[in-house]
């Protein structure tokens, strides 16, 4: 009888140890799409885009005015004035190109900054849920990554390295 009890305990022990590990999953992308902050981010980026568009329109108006003036007076201009006006138009084209590139980079940087802040907010909430509910791991199924892992989780890297004979 005692042997049976010991045998049952031996088999039950690993099962009870495994039962302590709680696994869960979350779809961060789904949460991200319904966050009210996303609307604010989209509005902020749209406003920024509108500002850049207005500035670009001013630059294009200046460009078209200079190009038209150049075309209208081409036959009556002295060669040095022609060269200077051509240089001004080329310089303006370069400034427009540079401005467009910088505006695109700035908008991308701002969008990434705002999205990262929102992602961190979601991950923080996921971590709080994980800690409060005693989860060992919570997986993000939208990116196939780990969204939360408990400090109690065991890093088996040293064991794998040892198994492979690595230091």
- 147 φ, ψ to 5°? -90, -25
| Domain locations along the chain | 19-163
Contact 50, 162 (CB under 8 A): no
Tell how far CA 88 is from the center of its chain. 39
More confident residue, 11 or 72: 72
CA distance 44 to 115: 12
Provide mean pLDDT across the span 46-69: 96
* Predicted TM-score (pTM) of this structure: 0.69
**Residue 140 banded pLDDT, cuts 50, 70, 90:** very high
Is the pLDDT reported for residue 12 higher than 50?
Answer: no
C-alpha to C-alpha distance for 94 and 84, rounded to whole angstroms: 15
Instruction: State yes or no: pLDDT of 112 exceeds 50.
Output: yes
Rounded Cα gap, residues 143 and 31, in angstroms? 13
β-pair partners for 24: 138
């Amino acid at each position: 009888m005692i042997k049976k009890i010991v045998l049952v305990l031996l088999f039950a022990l690993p099962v009870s140890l495994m039962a302590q590990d709680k696994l869960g999953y979350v779809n961060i992308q789904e949460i991200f799409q319904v966050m009210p902050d996303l609307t604010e981010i989209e509005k902020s980026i749209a406003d920024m885009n509108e500002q850049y568009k207005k500035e670009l329109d001013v630059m294009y108006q200046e460009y078209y005015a200079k190009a038209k003036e150049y075309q209208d007076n081409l036959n009556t201009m002295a060669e040095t004035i022609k060269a200077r006006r051509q240089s001004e138009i080329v310089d303006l084209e370069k400034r427009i190109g540079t401005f467009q590139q910088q505006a695109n980079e700035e908008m991308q940087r701002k969008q990434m900054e705002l999205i990262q802040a929102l992602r961190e907010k979601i991950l923080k909430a996921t971590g709080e849920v994980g800690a409060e509910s005693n989860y060992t791991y919570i997986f993000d199924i939208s990116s196939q990554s780990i969204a939360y892992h408990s400090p109690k989780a065991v890093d088996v890297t040293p064991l794998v390295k040892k198994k492979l004979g690595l230091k």
